[in-house]
Amino acid sequence: MKGVVSKLLLAIYLLSATPFNQLLKLPVLVVHFHEHQHRDATTSFFSFIYHHYAINHADDGDTDRDQQLPFQSHDDCGSFQIPFYLFPTFEPLVPHITFLQAEKPSFYSDSHLLATYLSAIWQPPQRA
């Protein structure tokens, strides 16, 4: 189900916010090509495309029809978005600063005690 929904949303986006909506005009291209072939049977598809897209062809009496072809006219495509945020409560972000008190210097070291205590672990077992 997620795949179907994601493909549907992708199609809606591509057809509404990008030039892919011009692909919906492909049937008009085919019909207009047949109209040109009806007028001149020697017209090939590539010469038709060259005539309508590669050169700035002169007015041949069907300018309105030419403007209906894909990628011939610019459609004004706009989008309007409204940001909608849900914040149940507003709490300002205030940094909490904690001051640590400096320790007083000490000249006493118990590192030798710790080493003697740990070395006592490795003594052989004694009879009880």
**Does 14 fall in a domain?**
no
Tell me how far apart the alpha carbons of residues 19 and 75 are, in angstroms, rounded to a whole number.
9
**Does 51 fall in a domain?**
yes
More confident residue, 124 or 75: 124
**Does 50 fall in a domain?**
yes
Expressed as residue numbers, the domain containing 45 is: 22-74
pLDDT of 43 higher than 80: yes
pTM of the model: 0.48
> CB neighbours of 14 closer than 8 A, spacing ≥ 6?
20, 21
**Does 101 fall in a domain?**
no
Domains: count for the chain: 1
Residue pLDDT, tens place only, 77-107: 555 666 766 666 767 778 778 777 777 776 6
**Does 4 fall in a domain?**
no
**Does 40 fall in a domain?**
yes
Q: Band the pLDDT of 55: cuts 50, 70, 90.
A: confident
**Does 31 fall in a domain?**
yes
> CB neighbours of 65 closer than 8 A, spacing ≥ 6?
32, 35
For residue 40, the model assigns a pLDDT of 87
